[in-house]
Chain A
């Protein structure tokens, strides 16, 4: 059950939970989900479930303490006159801060120790070696429980939301446990908010036939992305990134392009299965992607790609930091000096830097991930810095910003930046990434592309199948981008046509899927983060 695409999940776990869910009285359905989620976790990570339990209990207790303080404060506030209120607020604020700090330290501490101690240890060791200190560290290594990067962020968002009085602290431990461990969101997200998800999970709404069907269609669509496109592309990509020394720039550029494609298909396909499964339970799980490759700027790209992660960083790192007292002062001061556009940039840049550092780290403990984060930081900040210049150039050249060719140019430019970023993301370490990038710049030739493209892993037929798959996804994305629902379009068709389409689509997956003998399924990429 290592992936949502496994037969174990699709043919056994999901149907079994669905059937039981339907048989349960509505009041107890959430208990079934809780049980199923813990079973799911147990099947994948076994005793490591203790980490999850610790995180859950910590979050639960600290939130309750904060909630209690808030209640006390409110009672006091009613009793006193206005002038004293401020003092009370401040004193209670301080008390709450102690608890939230403790909570963040414990939750983040577990994540850092489990996930990063190897990385930190290795780097300290090499630092010691550079300084010629005769010390050898015992670098510990831990087996990570599944989903720790995801449930930790969810737990933190819950704590912050309680602290900010956006939601009330939860008394029902089971309900909080379900939110943190829910089997659909634990492995690869989306990172949901307590206020969005928990009520739905607890409600146990009746499953509707239409939603059930829509959910199934969504799952099949996700299967297509993963099995037909992502897994087939892997044949090519793994060779390029493994023996990157043997290929010239053209092939490496193609490898990076195809990897970006694979990552999107794999990750968004998983989201399709997750959101589709959710629909089968009448749950509305937030979208994590919104046609990212139609973005015109990098910052727009990140509002369309892995949306839930971007929102998390924005709500819990970017704004709190840039709205902190010192940075606010900086903003106000700089605005008077350098004007509207550049004024907030200084504090924005500081907050943005922290966001992208965290983003890089979150993806993994390797220098290439940190580079990946800072690369995007540079692009976004750079974009803001030169924005006045570019808009002047554009108006000087009398280019219509709304015209199709200009927008097309923007989309292609953004995609190129993204592909370069993903090259570093996938490379075996930062050095390999830099090497590959330099190869693209200095040793690019089209002839090697046409000569050897079909010789490593994928032949002409494989490419044709992948391209057809991508065209299908592109078509559906265009429909979505126009604000229409592809599924609604289809369900308006006569039944014969509709069913023929379904059959054709399923057969397309069954026949052209890259599974079975000769294919090694790609491990879920985001489950490792």
Chain B
């Protein structure tokens, strides 16, 4: 009797998984643009880039896409970067983007913006996440409203590219007086155990893919302070990662908090991002000997994208 039940259960669950996979296949976006129902299109724009063309991959929450402009670094230094940052990104999501990037790209540098390391989440989320990866229908089920004929037969082909390469442009100014948010402290902010584990795993995955993971804190007077700096510094030492805190480089990056932020020190605006990207591009190029593709004919799409980027940012 018992055997019968076990066999039946296994058969039933197998059938269920097949149905879920089929449904997943139907609702999964067939292209990485908004029209095809892709989520986080700016971050997922990387899917439309040619294989093995991205030198630097940036992961993180809203601070990452507000502070780092790959196009600016392209113009100045000639290497390619892509920001796979999403708002309130949790480390398991960063991990998803990292895995996704390694399928078609061979970045030399992977930057993890450190604010995400302090975003705690429940272990349940990671279970949910693996479920989403296994059966995307749980993530994309809401697409039933805009299902297209192509969803039932077509193959997946990513063609959409983001001219801003994951950066989000904002010329809004809402300043604040934030002189001494980085006052020295001996204390270190605590990092949740699960998050530490994720950083470790991401570093390991980078190593296996011949990439070097570095930690960078971009300027934010609301989110950052010396305790957090200390927490990340200790973490970086423990895992042997390079850590650069741009909040401490007020001489190299002179953020004017009355002008360079769009929401009272929480996020930088375009003017702040320009200062950060100029410094970061120069620094990365020198420190990590990144290539210059500006004259390479395989990279002409980046030069073209830059012209459109200029048009967008010219208004400022």
Instruction: Confirm or deny: A11 has a beta carbon within 8 angstroms of a beta carbon on chain B.
Output: yes
Instruction: Confirm or deny: A486 has a beta carbon within 8 angstroms of a beta carbon on chain B.
Output: no
**A7 to B126 alpha-carbon distance, docked (Å):** 12
Instruction: Confirm or deny: A209 has a beta carbon within 8 angstroms of a beta carbon on chain B.
Output: yes
What 1/0 mask marks residues of chain B from 3 to 28 whose CB sits below 8 Å from any chain A CB?
00100000010011001100100010
Known contacts A516-B138, A517-B39; A511 and B127 CB within 8 A of each other: no
The range of chain A's interface size is 20 to 34
Q: Which residue of B lies closest to A6 (CB)?
A: B124
**A502 to B15 alpha-carbon distance, docked (Å):** 10
Instruction: Confirm or deny: A510 has a beta carbon within 8 angstroms of a beta carbon on chain B.
Output: yes
Q: Which residue of A lies closest to B146 (CB)?
A: A461
Chain A residues lying within 8 Å of B127, measured Cβ to Cβ, are 7, 11
Instruction: Confirm or deny: B184 has a beta carbon within 8 angstroms of a beta carbon on chain A.
Output: no
Chain B residues lying within 8 Å of A461, measured Cβ to Cβ, are 144-145
Chain A residues lying within 8 Å of B144, measured Cβ to Cβ, are 461, 511-512
Q: Is the CB of A510 within 8 A of B20?
A: yes
Chain A residues lying within 8 Å of B137, measured Cβ to Cβ, are 510-511
Q: What is the size, in residues, of chain B's interface with A at 8 Å between Cβ atoms?
A: 19
Instruction: Confirm or deny: A518 has a beta carbon within 8 angstroms of a beta carbon on chain B.
Output: yes
What 1/0 mask marks residues of chain A from 4 to 15 whose CB sits below 8 Å from any chain B CB?
000110011000
**A511 to B137 alpha-carbon distance, docked (Å):** 7
Q: Which residue of A lies closest to B40 (CB)?
A: A517
Instruction: Confirm or deny: A513 has a beta carbon within 8 angstroms of a beta carbon on chain B.
Output: yes
Instruction: Confirm or deny: B223 has a beta carbon within 8 angstroms of a beta carbon on chain A.
Output: no
Q: Is the CB of B16 within 8 A of A503?
A: yes
Q: List B residues 1-58 near A (Cβ within 8 Å).
A: 5, 12, 15-16, 19-20, 23, 27, 39
Known contacts A8-B124, A499-B15; A516 and B139 CB within 8 A of each other: yes
**A502 to B16 alpha-carbon distance, docked (Å):** 9
Point out which of B19, B23, B27 has the most chain A C-beta atoms below 10 A from its C-beta.
Answer: B19
Q: Which residue of A lies closest to B145 (CB)?
A: A461
**A461 to B147 alpha-carbon distance, docked (Å):** 12
**A499 to B8 alpha-carbon distance, docked (Å):** 11
From B12, B15, B23, B39, give the contact of A511 (CB < 8 A).
B23
Instruction: Confirm or deny: A520 has a beta carbon within 8 angstroms of a beta carbon on chain B.
Output: no
User: Could you tell me the distance in whole angstroms from the C-beta of A216 to the nearest C-beta in chain B?
Assistant: 11
Q: Is the CB of A507 within 8 A of B19?
A: yes
Q: List B residues 57-109 near A (Cβ within 8 Å).
A: none
Chain A residues lying within 8 Å of B20, measured Cβ to Cβ, are 507, 510
From A7, A503, A507, give the contact of B128 (CB < 8 A).
A7
Instruction: Confirm or deny: B141 has a beta carbon within 8 angstroms of a beta carbon on chain A.
Output: yes
**A499 to B16 alpha-carbon distance, docked (Å):** 9
Q: List A residues 432-462 near B (Cβ within 8 Å).
A: 459, 461
User: Could you tell me the distance in whole angstroms from the C-beta of B89 to the nearest C-beta in chain A?
Assistant: 14
Q: Which residue of A lies closest to B27 (CB)?
A: A511
Q: Which residue of B lies closest to A504 (CB)?
A: B19
Known contacts A7-B124, A7-B127, A209-B5; A516 and B141 CB within 8 A of each other: yes
Instruction: Confirm or deny: A506 has a beta carbon within 8 angstroms of a beta carbon on chain B.
Output: yes
Chain A residues lying within 8 Å of B142, measured Cβ to Cβ, are 516-518
Point out which of A11, A502, A516, A517 has the most chain B C-beta atoms below 10 A from its C-beta.
Answer: A516
Chain B residues lying within 8 Å of A7, measured Cβ to Cβ, are 124, 127-128
**A515 to B139 alpha-carbon distance, docked (Å):** 9
Chain B residues lying within 8 Å of A515, measured Cβ to Cβ, are 141
Point out which of B16, B138, B141 has the most chain A C-beta atoms below 10 A from its C-beta.
Answer: B141
**A510 to B134 alpha-carbon distance, docked (Å):** 14
Q: Is the CB of B141 within 8 A of A511?
A: yes
User: Could you tell me the distance in whole angstroms from the C-beta of A520 to the nearest C-beta in chain B?
Assistant: 14
Q: Is the CB of A510 within 8 A of B141?
A: yes
Chain A residues lying within 8 Å of B23, measured Cβ to Cβ, are 507, 510-511
Q: Is the CB of B145 within 8 A of A510?
A: no
Chain A residues lying within 8 Å of B139, measured Cβ to Cβ, are 516-517
Q: Which residue of A lies closest to B22 (CB)?
A: A507
**A209 to B127 alpha-carbon distance, docked (Å):** 28
Chain B residues lying within 8 Å of A11, measured Cβ to Cβ, are 127
**A7 to B39 alpha-carbon distance, docked (Å):** 23
**A8 to B126 alpha-carbon distance, docked (Å):** 12
**A207 to B143 alpha-carbon distance, docked (Å):** 40
User: Could you tell me the distance in whole angstroms from the C-beta of B51 to the nearest C-beta in chain A?
Assistant: 29
Q: List B residues 117-158 near A (Cβ within 8 Å).
A: 124, 127-128, 137-139, 141-142, 144-145
Q: A503-B15, A503-B19, A510-B138 are in contact. List 18 more A-B contacts (CB 8 A).
A: A8-B124, A11-B127, A12-B124, A461-B144, A499-B12, A499-B15, A502-B12, A503-B16, A506-B16, A506-B19, A507-B20, A510-B137, A511-B137, A513-B141, A516-B138, A516-B142, A517-B39, A517-B139
Residues of A within 8 A of B (CB): 7-8, 11-12, 209, 459, 461, 499, 502-503, 506-507, 510-513, 515-518
Which 6 residue pairs of A and B lie closest in terms of their CB atoms, listed nearest first?
A503-B19, A511-B141, A461-B145, A511-B144, A507-B23, A209-B5
Residues of B within 8 A of A (CB): 5, 12, 15-16, 19-20, 23, 27, 39, 124, 127-128, 137-139, 141-142, 144-145
